[in-house]
Amino acid sequence: MLRTCLLLSLFITAGCAVGRQDTNEPLDALVIREFEPGKTTAREVVERLGAPTEVVQLGRRTAYRFDASTTKSAGLILLVINFFNQDTRSDRLWVFFNEQDVLTHHGGSFGTHRTQYAMPWENVHEASDNQSRDVERPGVGK
């Protein structure tokens, strides 16, 4: 009776949970590759990428930020102890313009496709994992 009761409680209490949250559309790396410093204008950047998340005034220069993020959460719910892991990565692009609103520099990072469902003891930043995911994303993998 006691054994059955304990066994039953294990079945009742063990479970798992997963969740995902995306903010904004991932940035298009192929579109960003086409930007040419000294030629592309702020207007052209906005026409291709939409409204920036943030605009920063830097003296006479301006910088626009574009971003998107993906969060993957995973949980293992056991009898007494629970394990949760949450992994958030971002696509982020900063474009810098001179006084004439012409692009001078840009820097991008692409991470939304690297996000993983994992347990807290797992390493989600393994280079081999990142490389295999990069290959599948157009404009990011080499």
Query: Least distance (Å) from other proteins to the CB of residue 114?
Result: 8
Question: Nearest approach, Cβ of 104 to other proteins (angstroms)?
Answer: 8
Least Å distance, CB 34 to other proteins, is 17
22 vs 135 by CB, closer to other proteins: 22
Contact positions vs other proteins (CB under 8 A): 1-2, 5-6, 9, 12-13, 15, 17, 19, 21, 23, 37, 56-61, 63, 65, 69, 71, 73, 75, 77, 79-90, 92-94, 96, 105-109, 111, 114, 120, 124-125
- Nearest one of 141, 139, 140, 116 to 30, comparing CA atoms: 139
d(CA 116, CA 85): 10
Q: Bridge partners of 73?
A: 19, 86
84 Cβ contact partners less than 8 Å away, ≥ 6 residues apart: 73, 74, 75, 76, 120
Cβ atoms 46, 55 nearer than 8 A: no
Nearest Cα neighbor of 124 from 82, 74, 76, 68 is 74
Q: Which is nearer to other proteins, 44 or 129 (CB)?
A: 129
Minimum Å gap between C-beta 91 and other proteins is 9
